[in-house]
Homo-oligomer: A and B are copies of this chain.
């Protein structure tokens, strides 16, 4: 018998993505989001949600671009910091000693130190409630060569992204390999 927990944002797992954008003065900013995910294969798109009160919300609307920077677990503290303070008040790149690289493809910066970067052109926005969903078309993915598999794809065990759990507000790393998708279920039925 299941226990009812009421109306809560309790889906698991959630990503930890550090979103890069430029403000009106060209200052690069970072905002950590857990409300997001891939939302389309053709064209490849990701979505992130931000409240209108956030600094990055206005940045992305104005520049029509953002980056998704996947922090490795070694940058857990820095990623958390980017979800606590506002870019209105501080220069997060400067405080954290991170390097902002201007994307050559979209009007947004990315974090040179992070292993996996997704550069996005804003496709559309969706008002859901208190959050605006920004749907970004992926125009390039950039990776640290050290995190690539022998097939040239980002290996999650080398990227070592973080996982966020809503409500309990915990961060975890990636655990044991369970198998190949579209494969381990084939023996059934």
Contact = CB atoms under 8 A, between A and B. Distances in A.
A152 B5 contact: yes
A122 to B, nearest CB: 12
Contacts of A153: 5, 10, 167-168
B11 A118 contact: yes
Interface stretch (A20-28, A53-61, A178-186): A178-186
Contacts of A181: 34, 80, 83, 164, 169-171
Interface of A: 1-15, 17, 34-47, 49, 51, 68, 70, 73, 76-85, 90, 95-96, 112, 116-118, 123-124, 126, 128-131, 133, 135, 138-145, 148-149, 151-157, 159, 161-189
* Count of chain copies: 2
Contacts of A83: 181-182, 185
Nearest to A17: B11
B35 A41 contact: yes
A25 to B, nearest CB: 20
A68 B11 contact: yes
13 contacts: A5-B153, A6-B140, A8-B44, A12-B15, A39-B47, A39-B131, A40-B133, A41-B131, A77-B179, A124-B128, A126-B133, A126-B135, A154-B168
